[in-house]
Amino acid sequence: MTSFLTTNPREIVLASYRTGAGTLPSTCVHLQNQNQVPLQPGQVAVRNEFMQLTAVMADLMHETPGLPMPAYPLGEPLWGGAVGTVIESTSADLAVGTVVQHMKGWQEESTDDASAFYPVPLEYLPGREYVLNQGVTAYHGMVDVAGVREGDVVFVSGAAGGVGSLAGQIAKARGAAKVIGSAGSAEKVRYLVDELGFDAGINYKDSSVEEQLAELAPEGISVFFDTVGGTQFEAAVQAAAPGARFALCGALAGQINGGNGGHPRLDVMSAIVKQLVILPFSTHHTPDQLAVWVSHYGQWLAEVKIVFPTPSSTAVSTPPLTPWTDSFRAGTGATSWSACTHEAPDPPADCLLHGAADRGAG
């Protein structure tokens, strides 16, 4: 029995490593036919319909990504989030026709043990592609780590990004009194407030974040969800209320263009006087974390407590821009920076553009 029911399914593999910010990811990959392999007992074959684009994919094309995960192997398909339908099964656990989520990535068809695929809880979601998001990290950081609760005054840095856009909305859905997000343009700030329901936005390129926070949150922030680091972290320390919880998710200002924002200075005396609780975290996407996020996500979508724009395209051949998600938006005319999916089966080689971790020497 062969696993492939489609004629000549294809996949995108890493052909060479990126060597710096100037190396476009699209120049490092190529499209090839997939090997047809026999379906072993207990395995399933999945026809993929949507693939997720995240900034970290560009990082993983560097030989040394500088992340707590290895680089993409040369000659292998790029792994990442995808959604598809089981087209063939030798497993009692997954029937043909089941819609599943998995991490096997940029292939038209994926074959593996049934345990590598998770059924998508379609009853919770407006569409199967909605499952491809950064909500597991956002929920874990905002709820499990920061412990956001009613009445909190929350500041989210990198708030128009994949993680930040959901983190801020989760805080609102959990009853935060005020949610402030930072982003790098007036249009993104408008998007945060008008489309995502943030209470206020800060354009960190306009003027001092510390001054803007002092104006917007004179009572002090009680939760900081940080995806940026650098001077925004330093500003949050000054703006913090006593006992504020800092959930440290990422350091975009240190990840992009070789910036040094991964090493903010900590005003130790302020941290001591305010007894700040500083909590760096890594999300491991355990089955428990996935399940708790999806159930809340579906409920909040239905109640319109959160929105999740899902721009997608079948034809992306746009000039390279930075960052990846913005590039994708530019290519599709979509209105969001927060999520991107690409409809299989036309693999999106041309939308493999600059990613969030264009680290210069990378």
**For binding to ligand NAP (CB under 6 A), which residues are involved?**
54-56, 134, 137, 158, 160-164, 183-185, 188, 227-228, 249-253, 255-256, 259, 261, 281-283, 323, 325-326, 337, 356
Between 44 and 60, whose beta carbon lies closer to ligand NAP?
Answer: 60
Query: Which residue, judged by CB position, is nearest to ligand NAP in the bound state?
Result: 250
**Which lies closer to ligand NAP via its Cβ, residue 4 or residue 155?**
155
- The whole-angstrom distance between residue 243's C-alpha and the CA centroid of its chain comes to 28
For ligand NAP, the closer of residues 45 and 357 by Cβ is: 357
CA–CA separation, 174 and 157 (whole Å) = 18
Q: Answer for the pair 102, 46: CB distance below 8 angstroms, yes or no.
A: yes
Kindly give the pairing relationship between strand 178-183 and strand 200-203. Answer: parallel
Minimum CB–partner distance for residue 318 and ligand NAP (Å): 16
User: Measured from the CB of residue 33, what is the shortest distance to ligand NAP in angstroms?
Assistant: 31
Other Cβ atoms within 10 Å of 307 Cβ, number:
14
- Residue 23 is given by DSSP the state S
The DSSP annotation for 53-110 comes to --THHHHTTBSS--SSSPPPPTTSBPPB-EEEEEEEE--SSS-TT-EEEESB-SBSEE
Provide the minimum distance between the beta carbon of 199 and ligand NAP in the complex, in angstroms, as a whole number: 17
Could you tell me if 176 and 150 are in contact, meaning their C-beta atoms sit under 8 angstroms apart?
Answer: yes
Of 3 and 23, the one with the shorter C-beta distance to ligand NAP is: 23
In whole angstroms, how close is the CB of 82 to ligand NAP at the nearest point?
17
From the CB of 341, what's the least distance to ligand NAP, in Å?
Answer: 14
β-sheet bridge partners, residue 188: none
The nearest distance, CB 16 to ligand NAP, in angstroms, is 23
Our CA angle for 350, 356, 360, nearest 5°, is: 95
Burial of 212 per CB tally in 10 Å (0-12, 13-18, 19+): buried
Tell me the closest approach of the beta carbon of residue 232 to ligand NAP, in angstroms: 7
For the CB of residue 72, give the shortest distance to ligand NAP in the complex, in Å. Answer: 16
| Residue 176 near residue 153, CB atoms below 8 Å | yes
Quick one: 48 or 336, whose CB is closer to ligand NAP? 336
- Separation between Cα atoms, residue 110 and residue 204, nearest integer Å: 42
> What is d(CA 147, CA 348) in angstroms, rounded to the nearest whole number?
38
Nearest approach, Cβ of 259 to ligand NAP (angstroms)? 5
Expressed in angstroms, the distance from the first to the final Cα of the chain is 44
Return the number of other C-beta atoms located less than 10 Å from residue 160's C-beta: 27
- Which residues make Cβ contacts (< 8 Å) with residue 288, sequence separation at least 6? none
